[in-house]
Amino acid sequence: MPIFDQGYQHWNGQLSGHAWRWLAITRHGVRIGMKGKVLRLFLLLSLMPALGLVSAVSVWGLVERNASLVEPIVQFLVSIGLLNPAVAADPRHYRVEIWTLCYTLFLSMELTLSMILILLAGPELISQDLRFNALPLYLSRPLRRIDYLVGKLGVIATFLGLVMIVPCLSAYVLGLLFSLDLTILRDTFRLLLASIAYGLVIIVSAGTLILALSSLSRNSRYVALFWLGVWIISNVVSGVVQSTDHVQRRQARYQQAMVTKPDTPPRPPGRGRGGFPGMGRQAVVRNEFENEDLEAAKTNWRPLLSYTSNLSRVGRQLLGTDAAWKTLGELEPAGGRGRFIAQSLDSQYPWYWSAGVLAGLFGLSACILSLSVRSLDRLR
């Protein structure tokens, strides 16, 4: 059929305002992303931890009500040492701590899954537009560069929000419903806000980072490799540096102990430091080293080399995870308290170091994006 057999009709519809124009880009990006079978399957997989969170918070609601339905579960958890008997005896008193740890565990799992989700959904976002030279098509329409970038970030935000923020909200509502106690709102509303804030930190940080990487190459496979580098290699490097430092310090500590005379009395017992009557020499040294390790963690910068450790550190600060562990640690016997807290807490350096690293990465990403996603104000 030759062209023009179908007539051209004028269109008199209304065009929407400018404020939500970026949403069209997000909607389109999500639609394109959801065409991929692997991404769809992985999204489902990423929702699995959410079931765990919802279950845990709901069960705790029943525990607080002393429901007979969950009594065997509580007894089982106490018997295997996962739940302190003191907590089981007064669940309402430890509500904030338990909720905090449930949310922390969920978000730490989702942090790893979100890295994979970004690997699947992120690399093509800008690189394909560069490859197919789509920028003139965007920028010649009533869009600014910031609309374009916010629209692309919205794609990441949609996928990550679906597996991080939506489950946090759902779990909260279900926990509230199962406990039938409005004081939950008073006790845990801060946690809800903190979990949403943490989700947003991950979305903004990882989202801008993957967009920046995506704008560096027209080949999305290279972008995926860059992302793996940022995520896995930074983790590996940080792990190796930390292990090396730990081993060196331990060796130095034990060597120092060996040159000390065997009849040197152990240091007197004290608050978190020193040994206890009846302890062997080795145990004393080990105990002292653990305390020193805990002290050294406060100035240990090596975890900063890992991208996910930085996110995790900020998350722990927002959620109040360390405070929750410390509260639960107080319930442990005095001999094992230090070790319990040391094992429970990760790196102890100031959280704002990590916040600084993330802010730096954000600034770098913004610079890269501003250089790569250029306007058309240039000579070809």
Partner 1 sequence: MLIQFEQVTKRYGAVVALNNLSVSVPPGAIGLLGPNGSGKTTLIRSMLGLTRVDHGTGQVLGLDFQTRRLDIRRLVGFVPEDECLFPRVVGVEFVSYAGELVGMSTKDALQRSHEVLDYVGLGEARYRKVETYSTGMKQRLKIASAIIHDPKLLILDEPTNGMDPAGREEILVLARDLSRNKGMSLLFSSHLLPDVEAVCEYVVVLGGGKLLTDGKIQHLKQLHKQCYDVRLKTDPGLFVEKLTALGCTAEPWEDALRIQVPEGKSQRLLWEIAAEQGLQIRHLRPQRSTLEEVFLKAVEQD
Q: CB nearer to partner 1: give 7 or 265.
A: 7
Report the first-to-last Cα separation within the chain, whole angstroms. 38
Nearer to partner 1, 260 or 375 (CB): 375
Copy the structure tokens of residue 51.
């079931």
What is the chain's length? 380
* Subset of residues 12 to 31 that bind partner 1, contact rule: CB under 8 A: 12-13, 15-18, 21, 24-25, 27-28
Total chain residues near partner 1 (CB under 8 A): 46
At closest approach, how far in Å is the CB of 198 from partner 1? 32
> Shortest Cβ distance from residue 15 to partner 1 (Å)?
3
Contact string (CB under 8 A) for partner 1, positions 178-217, x = contact: ----------------------------------------
The residues, ordered by sequence, that sit 6+ positions from 59 with a Cβ below 8 Å of its Cβ are 70, 73, 178
Q: How far is the CB of 307 from partner 1 (least distance, A)?
A: 28
Largest CA distance in the chain: 105
Pairwise CA distance, residues 60 & 73, whole Å: 10
Instruction: State which residue, 258 or 371, has the beta carbon closest to partner 1.
Output: 371
Residues 6+ apart with CB under 8 A from 364: 212
Binding to partner 1 by residue 9, rule CB under 8 A?
yes
- Residue 10 or 261: which CB sits closer to partner 1? 10
CB closer to partner 1, 128 vs 344: 128
What is the C-alpha to C-alpha distance for residues 224 and 214, in angstroms, rounded to an integer? 8
Of 313-342, binders to partner 1 (CB under 8 A) are: none
DSSP 217: -
Spatial CA neighbour of 187 closest among 51, 320, 325, 331:
320
The correct pick among 68, 182, 262, 377 for binding partner 1 (CB under 8 A) is 377
Q: Which residue has the tokens 């079931």?
A: 51
Distance CA 250, CA 244 (A): 10
Binding string, 109-148, against partner 1, x = CB under 8 A? ---------------x---xx-xxxxxxxxxxxxxx----
The site map against partner 1 for 347-366 (x = CB under 8 A) is --------------------
Distance CA 252, CA 260 (A): 12
| CA 159 to centroid of chain Cα atoms | 14
CB atoms within 10 A of CB 211: 26
Cβ distance to partner 1 smaller for residue 64 or 124: 124
Q: How far apart are CA 332 and CA 330, in angstroms?
A: 5
Contact set with partner 1 (CB under 8 A): 1-4, 6-13, 15-18, 21, 24-25, 27-28, 32, 35, 124, 128-129, 131-144, 375-380
